[in-house]
Structure 1
Amino acid sequence: MLKIAERPLGQAAIQVLSELHTGVVAAGDHAAQVEAAKAAWKIKTSTKAKETAFKAVRENLAKMSVGSVRCAYCEDSLADEIEHILPKSLFPEYAFLWVNYLFACGPCNGPKSNSYGTVQGDSVVEFIRKKDDPIIAPAAGVHALIDPRTEDPLDFLDLDVGGTTPDGVKINGTFEFLPAYGLGAPQMARAAYTIRVLGLNREVMRVARQNAFGGFRARLREYVEQKAAAAEAAQLSRLQSDLLASPHLTVFAEIRRQRAVLPEISILINDAPEVLAWSLVPAGVAAT
């Protein structure tokens, strides 16, 4: 997971979302707002204006996505679903707020679903609304799930890519996410909750990240070799673009960040220090 660079939504789409938001909030109490948000979401493209607005939402989210329109959570699968960071069934007032959207894949969006928790003290307390439970709002508190729209996930998470100890012992990476070293208890609880709820360490993801490590190392080596051979700027730019279009860009972020314990990577980066400045997430001007 990487922090997503903001790309403002165009004013026309914002106006449509604002009108839908106003309708939800005006519905009444929390239970009424939940029903209103659910109903409004089902028909969110029922008029030309709404259809155009949500087309703009999807296009903007795609342009904000990491890699080649990859899921904001797993970075493996194609992102094709508008994800509500705060579930609309629990936070109907956020159902039509642009800041609550990101692009995710079905395998991540499905399991996350309506999962929600808040930080209470040093741990996360989950809010679970069963089928016949009263429709009440979750308790106030710090949201447990890391929000890549507003937070940098790598402030909370470390990826175990392995490395070499000072005395030369090589340690293989598990390519699993772990709560970042040195976190306080509340932040550690948020990291562990995010890893679990999103299934970031499911085996298929772990293996994919391990494979991505080898791919990034090979691409980086090719870039360094071409640079040493005095390749034209256009060729180096293409190699850079190809690398940045790869899935699992968090792996590349982590091999840059942890290069001190990755001797082979460190040597390559010393020969091409500009790679440290490559932006891993796209940014852009406001849509129209």
Structure 2
Amino acid sequence: MIRWPDRTLPRQAQKQLEQYQRAIDGAADYQERVERAKTDFDRYNCKGNKTFDAIKYALTKMCSGAQRCAYCEDSAADEVEHIKPKNLYPEAAFVWLNYVYACGPCNGPKNNHYAVFDQSTGQLVDVRRKRNDPIAPPRAGAPVFIDPRAEDPCVLLSLELRSTFFFVPRHKPDTIEYERAYYTIKTLRLNSRDYLPKARREAFKDYLAQLKQYRADRDQGASLVKLRSIEKHIRGRGHPTVWSEMKRQHDVIPSLRKLFRDVPEALSW
């Protein structure tokens, strides 16, 4: 996971989204707002709705390279995902900054899973609504789940690049930062789906090969066009977190240290 770039919706799409949200906010009570959030989102989030066509176009442009999931970066992203679940937070059902593109294998398990650090106690509290629970507002508190639209996940998460290619918390246990990282990794099953670490390993190998090719071509006097082509491939490849972590960890991994020393310009890609 990396932070998603900011992008502004076209003015008309943003105005329409705000109008959709006002209709929910004007409902009589919380339960009605929850019901409206679900029915209205299902109604408007369809092909041919100009507002959501614009939203999906913008989300696609925000993806790195191909249209890949904001969370796992592996599978095709074809679902507009609410970071804060609309069934818990109807006030965010039609809020642009609450949207990312996600894949089914990530969106399904996450669904309405959400937790906060309770405003009164500071304890981590699961606020998802279970079957037959009363429809009532969740406890107030700061979100636990990492929001890639509002913050940089790499501040809390690190990717192990030597063997497992697992995501791990960057901070010490018993800290808020650790709990947020652990909760996000577990909720999205970023390590337990065995094909994800394998895909990250393959991405690492490809990034490494491309950077070595760039170095060789540059040293042999290749044209700027050819070098820019390799740079473009690296910038647009899937699993951008792997590349981000290669740059961040290059000083502590010998094979990367020498390579980035030879190609320092790649640190800005």
User: CA RMSD of the aligned region, Å?
Assistant: 1.6
Alignment partner of 1:188 is 2:194: no
By how many angstroms is 1:91 displaced?
0.6
Equivalent residues, number: 266
Amino acid at match of 2:22: T
By how many angstroms is 1:244 displaced?
2.0
| Residue matched to 2:32 | 32
After TM superposition, the structure 1 = structure 2 runs for residues 39-54 of structure 1, keeping only pairs within 5 Å, are 39-44=39-44, 51-54=49-52
Q: Which has the higher contact order (CA 8 A, sep 6+)?
A: 1
Task: Tell whether the 8 Å contact from 1:123 to 1:185 is kept in structure 2 after alignment.
Answer: no
Cα distance change on mapping 1:94 and 1:231 into 2, 3 Å: same
Percent identity between matched residues is 39
| Residue matched to 1:93 | 91
| Residue matched to 1:146 | 146
Distance (whole Å) between structure 2 residues aligned to residue 144 and residue 222 of structure 1 = 41
Task: Tell whether the 8 Å contact from 2:173 to 2:179 is kept in structure 1 after alignment.
Answer: no
SS at the partner of 2:24?
A: helix
Amino acid at match of 2:52: F
More displaced stretch, 173-182 vs 87-96: 173-182
| Residue matched to 1:63 | 61
Provide Cα deviations, 1:121-140, integer angstroms capped at 9, x if missing partner.
66521113122111011111
SS at the partner of 2:260?
A: helix
Distance (whole Å) between structure 2 residues aligned to residue 188 and residue 182 of structure 1 = 6
Task: Tell whether the 8 Å contact from 1:89 to 1:114 is kept in structure 2 after alignment.
Answer: yes
Cα distance change on mapping 1:184 and 1:240 into 2, 3 Å: farther
SS at the partner of 2:112?
A: coil
Output the TM-score relative to the length of structure 2: 0.94
Task: Tell whether the 8 Å contact from 1:123 to 1:186 is kept in structure 2 after alignment.
Answer: no
Output the TM-score relative to the length of structure 1: 0.88
Provide Cα deviations, 1:244-265, integer angstroms capped at 9, x if missing partner.
2221111111111111122121
Cα distance change on mapping 1:31 and 1:60 into 2, 3 Å: same
Task: Tell whether the 8 Å contact from 2:46 to 2:52 is kept in structure 1 after alignment.
Answer: no
| Residue matched to 2:258 | 267
Task: Tell whether the 8 Å contact from 1:111 to 1:197 is kept in structure 2 after alignment.
Answer: yes
Distance (whole Å) between structure 2 residues aligned to residue 245 and residue 257 of structure 1 = 18
Task: Tell whether the 8 Å contact from 1:122 to 1:186 is kept in structure 2 after alignment.
Answer: no
Provide Cα deviations, 1:198-218, integer angstroms capped at 9, x if missing partner.
111121111111121111111
Distance (whole Å) between structure 1 residues aligned to residue 267 and residue 108 of structure 2 = 35
Distance (whole Å) between structure 2 residues aligned to residue 110 and residue 195 of structure 1 = 15
Task: Tell whether the 8 Å contact from 1:2 to 1:250 is kept in structure 2 after alignment.
Answer: yes
SS at the partner of 1:93?
A: helix
Distance (whole Å) between structure 2 residues aligned to residue 77 and residue 99 of structure 1 = 22
Provide Cα deviations, 1:175-216, integer angstroms capped at 9, x if missing partner.
111110457711110110000001111211111111211111
